[in-house]
Structure 1
Amino acid sequence: MDNTCPYIASLTREPFLFYEMRTTAKLLSSGLSEEDIVAQITSGNLFQYPTEKSVARMAKACLKRLAAMDDMDLVRAIAQQPTDVAKQICLYAMMKQSRLMWEFMLTVIGEKYRLKDSSFGRIDLNTYFMRLQEQDDAVAAWSEGTITKLKQVFAKVLVENEYLDDVHADHLNPVYLHPILENAIRSHGDLMVLPAFNCFS
């Protein structure tokens, strides 16, 4: 993750999107072009959204997130692997695309696993965003509503990936890094991201 990347609040509109990512990954692994994928998702309303406009935008967002991994094997894994494996790879894709998510998973979640500190609560999310607001003018300019929505997205992502039992949970569960993703992370040289998945070997 490039530290010169700006922090972007697009996760408020583009949360975890597991179902959409899996649908897009299936089409991408079948060899379709990005234009054809967007067209097919939109014309067939494959995401089952109420309006067509949001479908095309979301399809492009999914393609961008899949591209951020730069790994066709992982795209295929999202399409074909069991849900828990595919979700974990979707989390990695989300981290690769969003500096906001990347740094949260490393500096907050990875750090807790490293320190064997399983406590987790709203305070951890609040502290992360307060620190960012102090360090970064762009984040400081975000509205309170945007920050609140981002905290909700982050909490839901942690629940989807079983880091938390529910959004009100007060502790982190030990998570297991699936070998498919671990091998890809190692081959990409992304070793610093391993603690975010509770992996220290």
Structure 2
Amino acid sequence: MIIVSVLNQRYPCRTRDRLWYREIKTAIDKILAGDLTTADIGKASLDENIFNASSTSRSKEIAQAVTRRINAVDSAYLSFFVGRNTESQQLLCIVMVMLTDHSFLEFMDTVYREKLIQHDDILRDSDIMGFFHRLQEKDENAAKWTDAGIKKARDNYKSMLKEAGMLSEFGTERKIIRPILDKEMVDFLQSEGLTRIYKILAGERE
């Protein structure tokens, strides 16, 4: 059972985040093979460059994100991850982002899910910027974010969703691609206490 503790955390504005699918897959494979522990990810990233980062600073950045996301799930999640195909694994990576980024979780809940429910298959830049501005109105920490930072976070959201197969590739208006959730995925998310996240991905009301 996974505790969605991100709901008690501050809203971050992450300007350099990515889906990091290949990096997360590499780390999970090594952890389950017994070659790595979660605590060792940072050291392995720096000393062995296991994520093929272009610089030391990038290596640290990737390791921090991967460690944060893996720490947010349990061993059952890791085992389920390795047994799935690429498309499902990318979707599970999006779930890990939601579990570690309060802002992204709220965006997925209030914008992406609503689009699915209303059968509005276009995600516009204005939808994302409007979400950030509403967040700034209700949260004093978010109110301090710069316009430049928000635009970078917006682009990161689009990039992550595109890589996860949930958004088309180009433009200020992107076609939303409804995630495919098979019964095994649905049952697993619900058994892990992630019914809210399942409903976001499925486009269902609470």
Given that 1:163 and 1:174 are in contact with CA atoms closer than 8 Å, whether structure 2 keeps it comes out as: yes
Give RMSD over aligned pairs: 2.2
Structure 1 unmatched ranges of 5 or more: none
Instruction: Kindly state the Cα deviation for residue 129 of structure 1 after the two structures are TM-superposed.
Output: 0.7
Structure 1 length normalisation: TM-score?
Answer: 0.87
Aligned to 1:44: 48
> Alignment length, in residue pairs?
199
Q: TM-score, normalised by structure 2?
A: 0.85
Q: Does 1:54 align with 2:44?
A: no
Which residue does 2:185 correspond to in 1?
A: 181
Write the deviation string for residues 127-158 of structure 1: whole angstroms up to 9, x where unpaired. 11111111111111011111011000011112
Cα deviation code 1:11-70 (max 9, x no counterpart): 32332111111111112212332343433332221211122343244223212201212x
- Match of 1:91, as an amino acid? I
Distance 1:73 1:193 in 2: 17
Other-structure match for 1:172: 176
Structure 1 match to 2:68: 64
* CA pair 85-127 structure 1, distance change in 2 beyond 3 A: same
Structure 2: stretches of 5+ with no match in the other structure: none
Kindly indicate whether the alpha-carbon contact (under 8 Å) linking 2:21 and 2:90 is maintained by their aligned counterparts in 1. Answer: yes
Task: Name the CA distance, whole Å, in 1 between partners of 2:131 and 2:170.
Answer: 17
User: For residues 139 and 65 of structure 2, what CA distance do their matches in structure 1 show?
Assistant: 25
Q: Does 2:110 correspond to 1:119?
A: no
What is the percentage of aligned positions where both structures have the same residue?
A: 22
Instruction: Give the corresponding residue for 2:8.
Output: 4
Say if 1:12 and 1:150, in contact at 8 Å, map to a contact too: yes
Deviation at 1:178, TM superposition (A): 4.0
Q: Does 1:99 align with 2:102?
A: yes
In the TM superposition, what whole-angstrom CA distance separates every residue of 1:71-126 from its partner, at most 9, and x where no partner exists?
22322344453211110000000100111111111111111112222232112111
Choose between structure 1 and 2 for higher RCO, CA contacts under 8 A separated by at least 6 residues: 2
